[in-house]
Amino acid sequence: MEREQELEARIREAAALLREARHAIALTGAGISTPSGIPDFRSPGTGLWEKSDPMEVASLSAFRRHPEAFYRWVRPMVDLILSAQPNPAHVALAQLEAAGRLQAVLTQNIDGLHQRAGSQVVLELHGHLRETTCLQCYRIAPAEEAMEAIRRGEVPTCPVCGGVVKPKVILFGEQLPSEVVNLAMEHVWLADLILVVGSSLTVLPAAKMPAYVHSMGGQVIIVNRQRTYADDFAAVVFHEDVVEVLPRLAQACLGDAE
């Protein structure tokens, strides 16, 4: 009972900050999609990087040398990601945006679940799985062209030039999409509140975004199972499940506003 009362008090406090904000944004990481069945990267015991060296399977240099290693690693996750469904945390963010309480979702995820949940302004900092690019002729194509080859255990190639094709996901050592990052940073500079959901805040440039907002006098709300560096200056911190916190936060924010 005491825990529930304390949690409810934090939810009410965070909801009040959201209602007061003029330009609130959300920053999401893998932790928002784990309830949808997509594993994250750094959780103890289950994180993908506990089983694989990211520089060996998910760096651009490794992909150019051994694309088959990347596709062998990613193959089990492709259908998992494509068949995953948005969970109540995704839906809660879409509801906050629809009500004008959130101006944008900046995400490190490549799964597209925010859009499927109804979010309209989604900036995908690390790319997505909807398209592929040929590394030889730079042809861009719908990802469906490559999926059958990936499922067969083959390296997908370009039907025009025969070059190896790569999903439009950002690998280690690869430049982030500048247009998306610039738009995201515009939102960060305007933000007077940033709601961090399911991110360990260890990968740049997303890692520094809460610090930027805080340095300009904005509020920071953290919803993440594990501690982050931003806990030290956040106005409200939740180490509970995102599926438990986000729907209740949206209901408190929007219900009280009606």
Mean pLDDT calculated for residue range 28-53: 68
Taking alpha carbons only, the member of 197, 227, 183, 191 closest to residue 211 is 191
pLDDT per residue as tens digits for the range 70-95? 898 888 888 888 889 999 999 999 99
List the catalytic residue out of 23, 66, 114, 126: 126
Q: Mean of the per-residue pLDDT values for the chain?
A: 90
- Predicted confidence at residue 78, as pLDDT, reads 81
* Number of CB atoms found within 10 A of residue 107's CB: 31
pLDDT at 114 over 50: yes
pLDDT at 42 over 50: no
pLDDT at 49 over 50: no
pLDDT band at 117 (very low <50, low <70, confident <90, very high): very high
pLDDT at 146 over 80: yes
* Backbone CA torsion sign across 114, 120, 123, 126: positive
| Axis crossing angle, helix 67-83 with helix 144-151, rounded to the nearest 10 | 110
CA distance 21 to 256: 15
Helix ranges restricted to H, the chain: 2-20, 54-57, 60-65, 67-83, 88-98, 113-117, 144-151, 178-190, 209-215, 242-257
Q: 1-38+85-126+175-258 has which fold?
A: Rossmann fold (3.40.50)
> Which pTM value belongs to this model?
0.89
Kindly indicate whether the domain formed by 42-83+128-169 is annotated with CATH number 3.20.190.10.
no
With H, G, I as helix, E, B as strand and everything else as coil, classify residue 81: helix
The string over 161-192, giving b where at least 16 C-beta atoms fall within 10 Å of a residue's C-beta and e elsewhere, is eeebbbbbbbbeebebbeebbeebeebbeebb
pLDDT band at 44 (very low <50, low <70, confident <90, very high): very low
% of the chain exceeding 70 in pLDDT: 92
Quick check: do 1-38+85-126+175-258 and 42-83+128-169 share a fold?
no
Strand order in the sheet with 236-238: 122-124, 104-107, 24-28, 193-197, 219-223, 236-238
pLDDT at 125 over 50: yes
Among this protein's residues, is 126 annotated catalytic?
A: yes
Domain limits, the chain: 1-38+85-126+175-258, 42-83+128-169
The answer to whether the peptide bond before residue 205 is cis (omega within 30 degrees of 0) is yes
Phi/psi-derived region of residue 176, left when phi > 0, alpha when psi is between -120 and 50, beta in every other case: beta
CA distance 74 to 80: 10
pLDDT per residue as tens digits for the range 95-106? 999 999 999 999
